[in-house]
């Protein structure tokens, strides 16, 4: 087996990108990297290592040679005896309509076309030809922009349905292999345009750094690999930490986790770029007096009693009253709930008790869309005397309802369920000791606490209103 095939094969196995039964299509632009990718997939298909079922080419119609490249890709597909799907996209119209750069618009349209091609070929994955050099360039670009661990992680071997089998291969090695194969490719003349940041990094910065270290591409790509591992660990820690911003709990977390928790909360509330300086200012509120606040892009961060609370600043440009703002909302409340135990407050009574998993549990209790919810007891991995608490909502609250693919803002859930604005602060929210939402009483439990066949014990939560909210 040629060395380049062995290298790609090893990388695919290391990251479990594809298996013998995986149906994959190859994105083909006509450049050396994408031609090498298509030929490598064809070779691995012949060895029974994957199912190479088609090729997709996107004609951006931005260059005079675009039609030439399209025909070249059709010829490559014919040589490899693979069907090809070609899409032509209007990048200029997209850029104008969305107020994007041409590069950003082209990227979005290209990946949308890949998704359609995957469906067309009934494929499991779309393979793209990013190389070790691309990874090094991405690392440098993001370093220059001041990215943290998430950004410096660069491109991932897999991102959803998109896989990058060549991410461990230097571009020079791929071109040498193509030369041995007597395989042709086309050159994109826009690669010489140094007004495009990536081209400038490739043509100027990387060669300059190579004067200091001839192996600079490998060094930078390895730094991206390490950053990706660090980010994966931090992301896991953040998931365990949950969404709550209790001051004392944030204080006790390691500094990187403090930063990440606040960065995530600010970004979720603001939907605008949040920089390190904004996170630093929010961190200072941990030691500030009650009532202190700072402004970040689109969001105001408050120190209210023992919590950090975020409110959106962009929804009321005329400074009109916003019932969703914390200043206009009822007092925040929170009560500990032991197991077994009971909370009676705020015109409701909520109890918790242990039960065996094989007890008869109503289907509505599994999803928690009634007054009774059943949750996994082993999901509450704590020795706290009161592993649960009952509180009302907080700005930025999110959870993952059973059966939903992703996380959902509590605010959006209430809007979807047509819950009157005046009632939203009265709905009890059951949280664990890390302030992760367990049950939005009457409206659903979080997927992480869903009872499964492997569950040995469950906690049954029951809600009864002593008087209905008006």
What are residue 159's phi and psi, to 5 degrees? Answer: -135, 95
Instruction: Give the sign of the dihedral formed by CA 97, CA 98, CA 101, CA 107.
Output: negative
- Alpha-carbon distances, residue 58 vs 82, 183, 187, 456, 467 (angstroms): 16, 21, 16, 52, 61
Lowest mean pLDDT among 6-10, 257-261, 322-326: 322-326
Element (H, E) at 432: strand 429-432
Q: Where are the domains of the chain?
A: 3-220, 242-328, 334-465
Per the CB < 8 A criterion, the answer to whether 235 and 156 are in contact is: no
**Nearby residues of 51 by Cβ (< 8 Å), 6 or more positions away:** 20, 21, 22, 23, 24, 45
Pair of tokens at residue 113:
């076309």
CA separation for the pair 4, 243 (Å, rounded): 45
pLDDT over 50 at 350, yes or no: yes
DSSP state of 285: G
Dihedral, CA of residue 436, residue 442, residue 446 and residue 447, to nearest 10? 170
Q: Which pLDDT score, from 0 to 100, does residue 384 have?
A: 57
- Tokens 């990536």 correspond to 198
159-163, 201-205, 417-421: least confident range: 417-421
Closest CA to 75 of 63, 64, 88, 84: 84
Q: Does residue 324 surpass a pLDDT of 50?
A: no
pLDDT of 457 strictly over 50: yes
Q: Per-residue pLDDT for 67 more than 70?
A: yes
Q: Do residues 310 and 265 touch, judged by C-beta distance below 8 A?
A: yes
On average, the pLDDT of the chain sits at: 87
| Calpha distance 360→368 (Å, rounded) | 15
> Within 10 Å of residue 21's Cβ, how many Cβ atoms?
8
Topology annotation, domain 242-328? 3.30.465
Distance CA 412, CA 216 (A): 47
User: 87-115: per-residue pLDDT in tens?
Assistant: 999 998 888 888 888 888 999 999 999 99
Q: Report the alpha-carbon distance of residue 326 to residue 310 in Å, rounded.
A: 8
* Average pLDDT over every residue of 194-218: 94
Q: Which band of pLDDT confidence, cut at 50, 70 and 90, is reported for residue 358?
A: low
Q: Please report the pLDDT score of residue 8 as a whole number.
A: 97
pLDDT score at 30: 96
**Nearest-CA neighbor of 113 among 126, 103, 97?**
126
3-220, what's its fold? Rossmann fold (3.40.50)
Question: Taking 80 as the threshold, does the pLDDT of residue 329 lie above it?
Answer: no
Distance CA 283, CA 262 (A): 8
Residue 59's DSSP bridge partners are: 88
Q: What pairs with residue 35 in β-bridges?
A: none
pLDDT per residue as tens digits for the range 39-54: 999 999 999 999 999 9
| Buried b or exposed e, range 34-44, using 16+ CB within 10 angstroms | bbbbbbbbbbb
Q: Of 286, 320, 316, whose CA–CA distance to 301 is shortest?
A: 286
- Name the pairing type of β-strands 125-127 and 162-163: parallel
* Architecture of the CATH domain 334-465: 3-Layer(bba) Sandwich (3.50)
The answer on pLDDT for 273 being more than 70 is: yes
Give the range among 92-106, 236-250, 327-341 with minimum mean pLDDT. 327-341
How many other CB atoms are there within 10 angstroms of residue 154's CB atom? 25
Lowest mean per-residue pLDDT among 212-221, 275-284, 353-362, 371-380:
353-362
Q: How many residues does the chain have?
A: 470
Confidence of residue 423 (pLDDT cuts 50, 70, 90): confident
Cα torsion at 418, 420, 424, 430 (round to 10°)?
Answer: -40
Average pLDDT over residues 356-361: 66
Structure tokens at 164: 């990058």
């Amino acid at each position: 087996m040629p060395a380049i095939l062995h290298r790609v094969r090893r990388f695919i196995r290391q990251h479990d990108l594809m298996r013998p039964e995986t149906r994959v299509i190859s994105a083909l632009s006509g450049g050396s990297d994408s031609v090498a990718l298509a030929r490598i997939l064809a070779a691995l298909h012949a060895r029974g290592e994957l199912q190479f079922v088609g090729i997709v080419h996107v004609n951006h119609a931005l260059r005079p040679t675009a039609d030439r490249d399209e025909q070249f890709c059709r010829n490559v597909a014919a040589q490899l005896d693979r069907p090809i799907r070609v899409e032509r996209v209007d990048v200029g119209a997209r850029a104008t309509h969305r107020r994007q750069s041409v590069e950003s618009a082209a990227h979005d349209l290209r990946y949308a076309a890949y998704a359609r091609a995957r469906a067309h070929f009934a494929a499991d994955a779309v393979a793209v030809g990013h190389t070790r050099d691309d990874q090094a360039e991405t690392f440098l670009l993001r370093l220059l922009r001041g990215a943290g661990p998430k950004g410096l992680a660069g491109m991932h071997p897999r991102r959803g349905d998109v896989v990058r089998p060549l991410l461990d291969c230097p571009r020079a090695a791929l071109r040498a292999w193509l030369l041995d194969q007597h395989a042709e490719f086309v050159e994109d003349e826009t690669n010489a345009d140094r007004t495009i940041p990536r081209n400038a990094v490739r043509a100027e910065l990387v060669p300059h750094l190579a004067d200091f270290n001839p192996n600079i591409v490998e060094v930078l790509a390895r730094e991206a690999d390490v950053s990706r591992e660090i980010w994966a660990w931090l992301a896991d820690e953040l998931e365990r930490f949950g969404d709550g911003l209790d001051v004392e709990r944030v204080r006790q977390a390691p500094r990187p986790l403090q930063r990440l928790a606040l960065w995530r909360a600010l970004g979720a509330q603001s939907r605008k770029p949040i920089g390190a300086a904004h996170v630093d200012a929010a961190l200072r509120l941990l030691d500030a007096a009650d009532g202190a606040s700072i402004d970040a892009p689109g969001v105001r961060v408050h120190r209210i009693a023992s919590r950090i609370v975020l409110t959106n600043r962009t929804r009321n440009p005329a400074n009109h009253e916003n019932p969703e703002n914390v200043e206009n909302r009822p007092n925040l409340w929170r009560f500990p709930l032991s197991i077994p135990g009971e909370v009676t407050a705020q015109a409701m009574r909520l109890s918790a008790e242990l039960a065996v998993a094989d007890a008869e549990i109503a289907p509505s209790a599994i999803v928690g869309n009634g007054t009774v919810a059943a949750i996994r007891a082993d999901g509450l991995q704590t020795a706290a005397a009161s592993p649960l608490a009952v509180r009302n909502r907080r700005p930025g609250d999110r959870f993952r309802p059973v059966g939903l693919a992703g996380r959902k803002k509590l605010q959006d859930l209430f809007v979807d369920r047509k819950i009157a604005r005046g009632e939203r602060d009265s709905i009890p929210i059951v949280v664990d000791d890390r302030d992760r939402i367990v049950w939005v009483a009457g409206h659903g439990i979080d997927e992480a606490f869903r009872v499964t066949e492997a569950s040995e014990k469950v906690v049954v939560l029951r809600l009864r209103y002593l008087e209905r909210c008006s």
